[in-house]
Amino acid sequence: MGNVTLNRVTKQFGAASVIKGVDLTIEAGEFCVFVGPSGCGKSTLLRMIAGLEDISSGALKIGGNDMTRVGPAERGVAMVFQSYALYPHMTVAENIGFGLRMTGHSKDEVARRTKAAAEMLQLQSMLGRKPSQLSGGQRQRVAIGRAIVRNPQVFLFDEPLSNLDASLRVQMRTEISKLHQDIRTTMIYVTHDQVEAMTMADKIVVLQGGLVEQVGSPLELYHRPKNIFVAGFIGSPK
Ligand code: ADP
Ligand code: MG
C-alpha cells in the first residue's frame, strides 16, 4: 500500500543545508498536508519524495519499498502541478493521456483510462477543447486528471491552487477533498495556506527551517500547539 516513510532525510544544495533530518510516516490513504512559511523546504521535501531531487542522506520508502535511489517513473507517485503547466497546443484528452502515451501504453488503453479520469473529474464534455478554452478550475482538473490516469499509489500536490482566485480556490479545495474520499489514495499536499491545511488534512506536518516542528491532526495542532511558532502558524489562541 502507499504509505510513505522518511528516515533522517536531508538535502544539501552546495553548502546550504535545506532539509536537516526529517523523520516522518504518512499512512496509506492519508491526506497529509505540509505547511510552513516560504523557504522552509516544503517543495524540496515533496520533490525528493517524487524523485525530482536527489536525497543527500537518509532513506525514503514508499509502499514498504526502498525508493531512496529509485528514479521518478518507478516510484508509483504522480505530481499535480499548477494548471498553467498544461500543454497549450494539446486537447484536454491529449493532455490527460500524455504521460501514458510516453510510457508506451496502447492507444485503446490510453483512451479508456483518459475517459475514466475525465468522468471522475467531470471533464467528459471538454475532452476536445484546448486549455485556452477552459476556466481556471477546469484547467486545474485537467492537471489532476494527468495524475489520475497513471493510477499512482501516492499523489503529490505542490500549492496547486495558488494561482486561482479566492472563490475558485474554495471550490477546488472541496473537489480535491472529495476526490480523496472517493479514491482513498495517499495524498501529500503542500501549501502555505493555513485554512487549506486545517480544512483538508487528516495529518498536518508543520515545517520550519528544514525541520519538522510538529505533526498532528488539525485539532491536535489547534488545541495543543507545541510552541509559539506552531500556534502562530495554525492560528490557535496562544
Ligand atoms: P518552500 O517550498 O517551503 O517555499 P523550498 O523547498 O522551495 O521552500 O526551498 C527551501 C530552501 O531551499 C530555500 O532557501 C531555497 O532558496 C532553497 N533551494 C530550493 N531549491 C534550490 C536549488 N535548486 N538550489 C539552491 N537552493 C535551493
Ligand atoms: Mg514551494
How confident is the chain (238 residues) per 10-residue block, as mean pLDDT?
A: 95 97 98 96 97 98 97 93 86 95 92 94 95 93 93 95 87 93 96 92 98 97 95 76
Compute the distance from residue 18 Cα to the ligand 1 centre, in Å: 7
Which residues approach ligand 1 with their CB closer than 6 A? 13, 16, 18, 36, 38-44
- Can you give the pLDDT at residue 165? 86
- Can you give the pLDDT at residue 211? 98
From the list 219, 226, 235, 207, the residue with the least C-alpha distance to 34 is 207
Return d(Cα 78, Cα 57) in angstroms, integer.
23
Q: Edge to edge, what strands does the sheet with 16-26 contain?
A: 16-26, 4-13, 57-62, 65-66
- Can you give the pLDDT at residue 168? 87
Instruction: Round to the nearest angstrom and report the end-to-end CA distance of the chain.
Output: 38
Which ligand is closest in space to the CA of residue 48? 1
CB 160 within 8 A of CB 80: yes
Nearest CA to ligand 1 atom 16: 39
Asked whether the CA dihedral 191, 197, 201, 205 is positive or negative, the reply is positive
> Which pTM does this prediction carry?
0.94
CB 167 within 8 A of CB 180: no
- Can you give the pLDDT at residue 237? 65
The set of residues, in sequence order, having a beta carbon less than 8 Å from that of 227 and lying 6+ positions away, is: 213, 214
- Can you give the pLDDT at residue 235? 78
Q: Can you tell me whether residue 211 is helix, strand or coil?
A: strand
Return d(Cα 144, Cα 217) in angstroms, integer.
25
- Can you give the pLDDT at residue 233? 84
Residue that is written with C-alpha cell 543527500 in the block? 56
Nearest CA to ligand 1 atom 26: 13
Return d(Cα 145, Cα 180) in angstroms, integer.
13
Nearest atom within ligand 1 for CA of residue 38: 4
Which ligand is closest in space to the CA of residue 157? 2
Return d(Cα 30, Cα 114) in angstroms, integer.
25
From the list 165, 236, 170, the residue with the least C-alpha distance to 204 is 236
- Can you give the pLDDT at residue 114? 97
Identify how many contiguous H helices and E strands the chain contains and give both numbers. Answer: 8, 10
Which ligand is closest in space to the CA of residue 162? 2
Q: Quickly list H helices, the chain.
A: 42-50, 92-102, 107-120, 136-148, 166-183, 194-200, 218-223, 228-234
Return d(Cα 161, Cα 168) in angstroms, integer.
8
